[in-house]
Every structure is written in C-alpha cells, then in structure tokens.
Amino acid sequence: MRAIRVHRFGGPEVLSYEEVPIPEPGPGEARVKIEAVGVNFIDIYHRTGQYRGLLPITLGVEAAGVVDTVGPEVSEVRPGDRVAYATQQGSYAEYAVVPAWKLVPLPEGLDSRQAAAVMLQGMTAHYLTHSTYPLRPGDTALVHAAAGGVGLLLVQMAKRRGARVIGTVSTEEKARLARQVGADEVILYTQADFEAETKRLTEGKGVNVVYDSVGKATFDQSLNCLKPRGMIVLFGQSSGAVPPLDPQVLNIKGSLFLTRPLLAHYIADRAELLWRANDLFKWMAAGELSVRIDRTFPLAEAAAAQRALASRQTMGKLLLIP
C-alpha cells in the first residue's frame, strides 16, 4: 500500500510518499480501507517534531472508510462496516489498523468524506462547548479562527447551547462565512484590535469564555477579554506555543481559569466517543450542523495540503483522498 511517512522532522519537504506493507490487525483491532483522511494541525506538529514521536512515522490521526478485516476479540465492528475514527496515528495511508473500540459506525446517508471532515474537529467543538466550558443560555463566547475547520463547527454548537458568539477572522469572506453559521458579531482582527472590539461589544464586561486555537499571537489579549472568573480554553497553537505563564497573572486579571485540553481525554472510553460522534451525525442528518469541506487533495499531495492548512487561508476542512 501507499502511505505518507516521515523519516526526519522538518518542513513539508520531509513527507515521503512510499510503498509500505499492509498492516495486519492484532487482538482487539480492525483494519480499515481508507476512503478519506482529515488533515489537521496536529499532523504538522508531528511532522515538525513539536509533538515528538519515534521515527519513522505514518502521519494522520483521522479517517473514514470500510472495515476490511478484524483481528481476534473484536465485537464492535465487522468486515464491510462503514466507519470513521480520530486520535489514532497512521491515517495518511491506503489502509490503517485501529483499535476496534475507536471505530464509529456511520449512519446511512453519511458519506466518508463528510465523516472524515467532522470526526476530530467536530468532537473537539463538542467537548469544548459541552464539557470543558459547558455553555449556558446567556453566556458570551469569543471564538478565534471562527471560519476555520473547528471554528465553524464551534460557532454552530455554541449557538445550539444558547450562547452569544463573537468570532475573530482575517478577511471579509471569512466574516461572511462565520455569520452564515450563526456568529452574532465578527471582528476582523486585521482591521481592528480584537481586545478593544470585544470590550466594546460587551460594554466593558468581557466574555465568559475564550476558545483559542491560535495560541501565541492571541493569548495575552484573550486573557484581557474575559470577565472575572472567566475561562480561557487554549486548544491549539497555530501561531506558535504560548510562553510560560506566571499563575499570578490569572489572579491579577480576575481569578481566571486556564485549561489546555486534548480530545483524547474527552473520548476516553467508547461510551463517551459514541455520545459525541453520534450527536454530530444526528445533527448533520437533520440539517442542523453544516460541515464545510474547503478542498480535497490526492494522498500523494499531502505536503500541499499541509502548506494550505499552515497558511491559515482555509475555510473549513481539508481532506486527502487515497
């Protein structure tokens, strides 16, 4: 089979499209013939060594396809099942072996591309809005990168929870997209200071929560946008890692809360995984959750896909097609 492998950490040029043996499932595992692969910032972190793994590695943590075969002691899925998964390394390939408990069966009417586009980012938006800071009617949330893959889903779920949503974006086109999915206010951070605008829009009160996937470039000002006892949820670092923080800063700025969550900890067992994924599928089937695929690339062009993602010019999900 063909796969995208990394033999040394570095830029997109280190991605190698090569022939590797088809993996065999062991006990509790299933092999998936992959039909669509989600492209995520974590793939870039693995490629660069920001998240350092043992080399060589096959990139990718999210895909959808069909169960090809199963190993011993598997009861969750059978050959022929259409499934999707996230948080399992090795999806930039034609086949992947995945723990069976991580595989979510797809309902009729949901194709592999839509499923691959929603698993990681959709479940991230779900846990952020339902668990990390469970939004309530009347809350105000500031969502950075509101027209990105997670951002578009996060805005929709925050509105489902009854919150007022202020989004930040870089262009007018992205602002239109964020408004289309429900953002109440959109700040073009390329034209206005988002901290000053957030304070103006909240009459100086600030927001209950900031969902920040940008990191270094936004973090300090994000803290300043919070109400006393508000929470900053730092769930990404597309602009770079946030420098070390003196916890006393949280006290000074209003007894703030800071968390740095990870999806794997919010789908730690099959019951929680199925709750989040099936909510997404149900909302999609009902037309209540819009999943936007920005564009697709052949698997061999993974480097181009990662360059597009890193440029922060995308609006929605990027997919690789084996």
pLDDT tens across 68-112, in order?
Answer: 999 999 999 999 999 999 999 999 999 999 999 999 999 999 999
pLDDT for res 225: 98
pLDDT for res 189: 93
Structure confidence by residue, pLDDT tens digits, 6-37: 999 999 999 999 999 999 999 999 999 999 99
What H or E segment, with its residue span, contains residue 154? helix 149-160
Given a cut of 90, whether residue 270 has pLDDT beyond it is yes
pLDDT for res 316: 82
Q: Which among 142, 156, 251, 134 has a CA at the least distance from the CA of 206?
A: 142
Helix 149-160 and helix 172-180, axial crossing angle in degrees, nearest 10: 30
| Beta bridge pairs of residue 89 | none
Mean pLDDT of all residues belonging to the chain: 96
Given a cut of 90, whether residue 305 has pLDDT beyond it is yes
Q: What is the average pLDDT across 197-205?
A: 97
pLDDT for res 138: 96
Q: Which among 189, 180, 228 has a CA at the least distance from the CA of 208?
A: 228
Burial profile 195-222: b = 16 or more Cβ within 10 angstroms, e = fewer: bebbbebbeeebbbbbbbbbbebbbebb
Phi, psi of 251 (to 5 degrees): -65, -50
Distance of CA 15 to the CA centre of its chain: 21
In the chain, the domains with their CATH numbers are: 2-120+264-321 (3.90.180.10), 137-260 (3.40.50.720)
What H or E segment, with its residue span, contains residue 63? strand 62-70
Q: Name the maximum alpha-carbon separation found in the chain.
A: 61
